[in-house]
Structure formats: C-alpha cells, structure tokens
Amino acid sequence: MTILVTGGRGHVGRSVTRKLLAAGETVRVGTSDPTDTSLSRDAEVVELDLSRPQTLSAALRGVQRVFLYADPSTVDQQIEAMELAGVDHVTLLSTRSLTFRDADSNPIARLHVAVERALGQSRLPWSFLRAGTFATNTLQWARLIRSDNTVRAPYPQSHAAAVHEDDIADVATLTLTQRGHAGAAYVMSGPESNTQREQVSLIGKAIGREIEFEEIEPETYRQTLSRWGGGREEVINQLLTYLVTWNERPVPVVDALQQLTGRPGRPYAQWAVDHADDFR
Ligand SMILES: NC(=O)c1ccc[n+]([C@@H]2O[C@H](COP(=O)([O-])OP(=O)(O)OC[C@H]3O[C@@H](n4cnc5c(N)ncnc54)[C@H](OP(=O)(O)O)[C@@H]3O)[C@@H](O)[C@H]2O)c1
C-alpha cells in the first residue's frame, strides 16, 4: 500500500512520513519543493502543490491513502483526482478552531470547514484531525532567542494547550494504517495548558539558560505573526484574538492520543527539549 503525504516539508508532514515509514508503509512525499535535500531518503518524493491540481494525478498514481493539508481553493479537483485514483482513505489535517462557538467569524476555521464539508459530501472515506495550536508556532520566537536571548510578545499570561507534531502524526498514522477510523473527527490539544511565559521558561530549561520575556504592544507583534496565513490581515487579527481570548484563561485539554492509545500526549516541556537545537 502506498500512502501520499502532502505538505511533506511541514513539521507535521515530516513527522507523519517518519512514523509511516517506521510502521513499514510505502510513503510518497508530495511537496512544493522536491529538491529539498532534508526530506527523507526512504520515501519517494514528488512535486505536489495543492493550489495547482494538475500536479495531483501523477502524485496519486498507485496511491491508496492520503494525508491531506487543507486547501479549499481547489478542493473539488482534489476530490475528483483522489476518487479517480481509487483512494480508499483520506486523513485531513484540520483545526480545532472550527469546534469553538465563534467559528463562523474565524477565517482559519472557515477555510477548514470548506474542506471538511467537501470531503464529507464525497464518496471518499475520511478522518479529520482537528488539531489545536501547534507547539511549532513558538518557533517564531527562535531567532530572537538565539540573537537576544529574549522573547518579545504581548499577553505573557495568555494560554495555549500546544500540541506536539509527533502526537498529531501518531494519530494520523493510526487513521492511515488501521481500520475503524472512517468518519471520525478527532479533536487534539496538548496534554496541558501553559501560559506564554511558562512556555518561554520551559524553552529556557531545555537550553540551559534563563530567557527574558519582554511584554510588547499587540500591534508591534503583527510583524512576528506575518508569516502565518500568507500574511493576510484577517488571519493575523485572528491570531491576536486568540491571545486575548485565552489571556489568563487555561485552554481546555482534549487528548485524542490518550483516548486512542491510552498514552498521554507529549507535554510542552518535552517539545522544548526535542527542539532545543532550534533555540540554541
Ligand atoms: N499552526 C497551528 O497552530 C495550526 C493548528 C491547527 C491546524 N493548522 C493547519 O495545519 C496546516 C499547516 O500549518 P503550519 O504551516 O502551521 O504547519 P506545518 O506542519 O509546518 O506546515 C507547513 C507546510 O504546509 C504545506 N502547505 C502549506 N500550504 C499548503 C497547501 N495549500 N497545500 C499543500 N501543502 C501546503 C507546505 O509543505 P511543502 O513546503 O512541502 O509544500 C508547508 O511547508 C494549515 O492548514 C493550518 O491551518 C495549523
């Protein structure tokens, strides 16, 4: 069985690739940059950009299962190509934000709702991974930690139950390699809620020195957030809204990994140790 992993250079895509290979599966990695030499040599690597669906038919040849990033712009063509190729399971990387009350006014949630809805109406069996805030988002602090040993951000007491990419990949691997996950939507967070100040302190512990936290105005933070969502203002506004919403308010934990495997998700402290070299 061949499994196509889209978004192959992403943190989640790389981890899903590693875990599927470790499970003995044949993996094809689809990426917008197949020349990237850091991609696994144990998997076939092909060019794939979901916003250019003409790259899909070659990438899907002989593929039974797909780990899919959400790109609503071409979702109908994606579904048609997967149905035509005989794909028998799609696991979608979705977002927890569509489970919150304000989902209708959240541009990040709307984007994923469009893809979930299209898959739901298709003939393809699917699983949705509705992941909460990725721990890898805090890599946005890495450059400043390396240069100034400082994080400059607003709302030091704002919470996230940040989820480790390896936990998302563990659940993705289950859905792609075992029966019984078709039609399931798994909501995932990390196993605990931490404030930004706590996260910075845990990164400091992982690299063996104390890091300064300098509180700045939310408007000044826009620059740091501009790498997300193609720098679109509505996405940056939403990211700032999250910081306000969860200020001094722990994020409820939903540990799908624990429910599925009996093993708790990896805490942020573990993530910081795993990524210590990124901050040194
Ligand atoms: N960040 C979060 O907190 C969070 C939480 C829940 C859900 N999500 C969702 O997870 C996805 C990835 O988020 P991320 O950037 O934070 O994580 P990431 O795992 O680091 O993913 C980045 C990779 O996504 C791939 N990608 C981006 N746009 C794509 C597209 N239209 N079609 C196919 N692949 C695409 C690219 O892979 P290649 O370079 O190999 O082409 C890129 O390198 C997004 O859909 C996001 O909305 C994010």
Domain map (residue ranges) of the chain? 2-136+163-190+252-266
Mean pLDDT of 141-157: 97
Determine what percent of the chain is predicted with pLDDT higher than 70: 100
Q: Which atom of ligand 1 is closest in space to residue 137's alpha carbon?
A: 1
What pLDDT was estimated at residue 230?
Answer: 85
Contact 189, 163 (CB under 8 A): yes
Ligand 1 center–CA 127 separation, angstroms = 17
> Per-residue pLDDT for 102 more than 90?
no
pLDDT digits over 10-19, tens only? 999 999 999 9
pLDDT digits over 39-58, tens only? 999 999 999 999 998 999 99
Contact 53, 81 (CB under 8 A): yes
What pLDDT was estimated at residue 229?
Answer: 83
Q: Which atom of ligand 1 is closest in space to residue 229's alpha carbon?
A: 47
| C-alpha torsion angle, residues 146, 151, 152, 157 (rounded to 10) | 170
Pocket of ligand 1 (CB under 6 A): 6-13, 31-33, 50-51, 69-71, 93, 95, 108, 131, 133-134, 136-137
**What's the chain's average pLDDT?**
96
pLDDT digits over 180-213, tens only? 999 999 999 999 999 999 999 999 999 999 999 9
Q: Which atom of ligand 1 is closest in space to residue 73's alpha carbon?
A: 31
Architecture, CATH, for domain 2-136+163-190+252-266? 3-Layer(aba) Sandwich (3.40)
Q: Is the dihedral of CA 184, 94, 37, 269 positive or negative?
A: negative
What pLDDT was estimated at residue 255?
Answer: 82
